[in-house]
Amino acid sequence: MVSRSGERVIELQHLSKHYGSVQALDGLSLHVPQGCLYGLLGPNGAGKTTCLRILCTLLSPESGSVSVAGVDALAQPRQVRRLLGYVAQEVAIDKILSGRELLQLQGDLYHLPTSERDRRIVELVDLLGMEEWIDRRCGSYSGGMRRRLDLATGLLHRPRVLVLDEPTVGLDIESRAAIWQVLRQLRDQGTTVLLSSHYLEEVDALADRLAIVEAGRVIAEGTPSELKGALGGDRVTLRVREFSTAEEAERVRGLLVACGGVRQVVVNRAQGYSLNLVVDDTAVLETLRHQLMQADLPVFALAQSRPSLDDVYLQATGRTLMDAELAVAGSRDPKAERKQAMR
Amino acid sequence: MTSATPSYASAGTPAEQEPSAFAEIRQETLALTRRLFLQLQRRPSTLVAGVLQPLIWLILFGALFANAPTGLLPGGESYGRFLGAGVIVFTAFSAALNAGLPVMFDREFGFLNRLLVAPLRSRSSIVLASVLYITSLSLVQSLAIMATAALLGYGWPGGAGLLLVLVTLLLLVFAVTALSLGLAFALPGHIELIAVIFVANLPLLFASTALAPLAFMPAWLRWLASINPLTFAIEPIRAAYAGQVSLSAVVMEAPYGSLTTTTCLLILTALAAGLFLLIRPLLDRKLA
């Protein structure tokens, strides 16, 4: 599913952008294959939003190139706008209009014929579960309703590429799940989806591929399992009994070390003589189970955990995402940023 | 769910022939104008206040000077009749001065970004929608005031006179709308825009011939009133109300010379055109 034709739909090359003295993008490059659900992971202030705004032709970079489906976005912005659906982070809706009226406006701005526009609105209302409130005024909507409506406005013209900036920030679990489901469905139907997020678990659960953005650059790129795999193997915790003795643990350790594909075997005395180890290939675990059985040892618990994206982020940047968020929070100027975003 | 929906997945491929520019501009402009009218329909306070304020001027000011000695005003007209033209122009002027407010709110709340991400055929559609909206709004308000003035016995311009009134108002509204839209993109926020509107409104009214003729004014004010755009709109309308609908008739004795209806209309046309040319680079930059 990752790469249907291998074609790169989005190509960002060496983008640079300053806001005053702040370097928002520092030679960022990004390639997104056709039909991929692509995650842009990084702390607030890493440059994700700037990157997406440039892609959607709202900002021009100081240097670099942007192309969508082979069309140069800097030279032919209108062609690119047709290919893209953009769901911005700040929800800009007209409180006086109903959701349906906003969608009708959006349809007209994308030049859909009226009958097609209205049919498409009915489809999206159904898809996103908006029947109950779509004819109410937007001013009365909750955060989750607004975000669904915003997603619908982005999808109305059936864009080849859907771009979402932090689509689930501050949402309740139900709305988040609904949005995730729609994004997966779109990807399965062949739409390329690019979303930014500072939620590790969101990118981990959703993305086919991801790029970690830090200080205006991509510092790691790949599928979630590639990135985690690069850290080296799965973490495994093995207990033969709930409480083993030291001798038994040593015996098991001997067995494990003798087995190929197992590294860093440690007896954890604090945890009832359980064993911690790293395996490069999960197939090794089956061999292990078999050998333990032959040695007449039971298996009380076998817990396997992959390195998390948090481990990947830590490895790439030397700090956790949480620490990065906290560091950035103090150094941002929301007023200046809002002014920058205003035309 | 329907399964027979056509796909747009290939929108924008070079092979696809583009629909006509006119049809696309029409569609986007109408949609944007419709939005402004829906807002007005659901929040009609702008419309009501825009009629109420000049109405109060008309009634209170009219009453204030109702007993002014007859023969005080040139031609011996009543003050109410004299005031009518001024208040009509003031109505259109105030309405047009607010043209920039919806645009400013769209800038501030990010709705403009939604428009800029869309593949608008021409971004002039955004400006055009504002002009269409504010022009119809101010003309409706002016007509309401004209009807009220007629009921108060201050007269009604017949046939050709009405046409002259509407053309004059239209030119003034274009000029003021251009100014307001320019301010909406030049100023940092709605607070500043409202402040400018508030400050500009009344002095422009007082320094015009809306409330008193040029002959009543001290020399410096007469000069000021004679270069005030409002005056160039008021005097032809006042002449039309007096039944004097001739393009070559002298409607105004300014300190620098006599002006005919044609001259006043030309000045307003030049002003509107000049202001639109002036704000164009700004709009091009902000909507680029």
Domain presence at residue B46: yes
Each residue's pLDDT tens digit, A130-169: 999 999 999 999 988 999 999 999 999 999 999 999 998 8
pLDDT, position A333: 67
Residue A343 tokens read as: 């035309």
* Closest approach of A34 to chain B, Cα-based (Å): 12
Any idea how long chain A is? 343
Domain presence at residue B190: yes
CB A145 within 8 A of CB A93: no
B286 to chain A: which residues are within 8 Å by CB? Answer: 343
pLDDT, position A310: 76
Each residue's pLDDT tens digit, A33-71: 999 999 999 888 889 999 999 999 999 999 999 999 999
pLDDT, position B246: 87
Q: Select from A92, A137, A341 the Cβ nearest to the Cβ of B111.
A: A92
pLDDT, position B262: 95
Per-residue H/E/C for chain B? CCCCCCCCCCCCCCCCCCCCHHHHHHHHHHHHHHHHHHHHHHCCHHHHHHHHHHHHHHHHHHHHCCCCCCCCCHHHCCHHHHHHHHHHHHHHHHHHHCCHHHHHHHHHHCHHHHHHHCCCCCCHHHHHHHHHHHHHHHHHHHHHHHHHHHHCCCCCCCCHHHHHHHHHHHHHHHHHHHHHHHHHHHCCCHHHHHHHHHHHHHHHHHCCCCCCCHHHCCHHHHHHHHHCHHHHHHHHHHHHHCCCCCCCCEEEEECCEEEEHHHHHHHHHHHHHHHHHHHHHHHHHHCC
Q: Are residues A111 and B30, on separate chains, in Cβ contact within 8 Å? A: no
pLDDT, position B104: 95
Which of B46-52's residues contact partners 24+ apart within 8 Å by CB, and which partners? B46/B98, B46/B137, B47/B137, B47/B140, B47/B141, B50/B91, B50/B94, B50/B95, B50/B98, B50/B137, B50/B138, B50/B141, B51/B91, B51/B141, B51/B144, B51/B145
Sequence-distant (6+) residues with CB within 8 A of B12 are A69, A71, A79, A80, A82, A83
Chain A CA closest to residue B184: A343
Each residue's pLDDT tens digit, B186-203: 999 999 999 999 999 999
User: How deeply is A170 buried, as exposed, middle or buried, from its count of CB atoms within 10 A (0-12, 13-18, 19+)?
Assistant: exposed
Q: Are residues A111 and B108, on separate chains, in Cβ contact within 8 Å? A: no
Q: Are residues B35 and A105, on separate chains, in Cβ contact within 8 Å? A: yes
pLDDT, position A143: 87
| pLDDT in 10s for each residue of chain A, 343 residues | 444 456 889 999 999 999 888 889 999 999 999 999 999 998 888 899 999 999 999 999 999 999 999 999 999 999 999 999 999 887 678 999 999 999 999 999 999 999 999 999 999 999 999 999 999 999 999 988 999 999 999 999 999 999 999 998 888 888 889 899 999 999 999 999 999 998 888 998 999 999 999 889 999 999 988 888 777 777 787 888 877 788 888 888 888 888 777 877 777 777 778 887 778 777 888 888 888 888 888 888 888 877 778 777 777 776 777 777 777 776 666 666 666 667 7
A108 to chain B: which residues are within 8 Å by CB? Answer: 27-28, 30-31
pLDDT, position B270: 98
pLDDT, position B88: 95
Q: How many helices (H) and strands (E) does chain A have?
A: 13, 14
Domain presence at residue B145: yes
Q: Give the closest residue to A305 by CA, choosing from A276, A265, A272.
A: A276
pLDDT, position B229: 96
Q: Give the closest residue to B241 by CA, choosing from B169, B160, B152.
A: B160
Q: Are residues A341 and B42, on separate chains, in Cβ contact within 8 Å? A: no
> B96 lies in which domain range?
23-65+74-286
pLDDT, position B255: 92
B113 to chain A: which residues are within 8 Å by CB? Answer: 58, 88, 92, 341, 343
pLDDT, position A305: 79
CB A212 within 8 A of CB A224: no
Domain presence at residue B126: yes
* Closest approach of B179 to chain A, Cα-based (Å): 18
In what helix (H) or strand (E) does residue A251 lie, and over which residues does it extend?
Answer: helix A246-258
Q: Select from B28, B110, B287 the Cβ nearest to the Cβ of A109.
A: B28
Domain presence at residue B15: no
pLDDT, position B95: 94
pLDDT, position B232: 97
Domain presence at residue B198: yes
d(CA A57, CA A76): 10
Residue B236 tokens read as: 């032809």
* Closest approach of B56 to chain A, Cα-based (Å): 29
Count of domains for chain B? 1
Per-residue H/E/C for A129-151? CCCCCCCCEHHHCCHHHHHHHHH
Q: Are residues A84 and B117, on separate chains, in Cβ contact within 8 Å? A: yes
Q: Select from B11, B34, B121 the Cβ nearest to the Cβ of A83.
A: B11
Q: Which of residues 90-149 of B touch A (CB under 8 A)?
A: 107-121
Per-residue H/E/C for B55-104? HHHHHHHHHHCCCCCCCCCHHHCCHHHHHHHHHHHHHHHHHHHCCHHHHH
pLDDT, position B2: 38
Q: Which domains, and CATH codes, for chain A?
A: 8-229+311-341 (3.40.50.300), 232-305 (3.30.70.100)
Work out the angle at residue A236's Cα, subtended by the Cα atoms of residues A233 and A237, and round it to the nearest 5 degrees: 160
Beta strands in chain A (DSSP E): 8-19, 22-33, 37-41, 63-68, 71-72, 84-87, 161-165, 192-197, 209-214, 217-222, 234-239, 262-268, 274-279, 301-305
Domain presence at residue B2: no
pLDDT, position A6: 63
Residues of chain B with pLDDT under 70: 1-17
Domain presence at residue B195: yes
Q: Give the closest residue to A125 by CA, choosing from A92, A98, A95.
A: A98
Q: Which residues of A have a CB under 8 Å from any CB of B?
A: 56-58, 69, 71, 78-84, 86, 88, 90, 92-94, 96-97, 101, 104-106, 108-111, 116, 119-120, 123, 126, 137, 153, 157-160, 190, 339, 341-343
d(CA A68, CA A7): 11
Q: Are residues B8 and A157, on separate chains, in Cβ contact within 8 Å? A: yes
Q: Are residues B115 and A109, on separate chains, in Cβ contact within 8 Å? A: yes
d(CA B10, CA A216): 32
* Closest approach of B11 to chain A, Cα-based (Å): 6
Q: Does B35 touch chain A (CB under 8 A)?
A: yes
Report the 10 Å Cβ neighbour count for A306.
Answer: 16
Q: How many CB pairs under 8 A join A and B?
A: 108
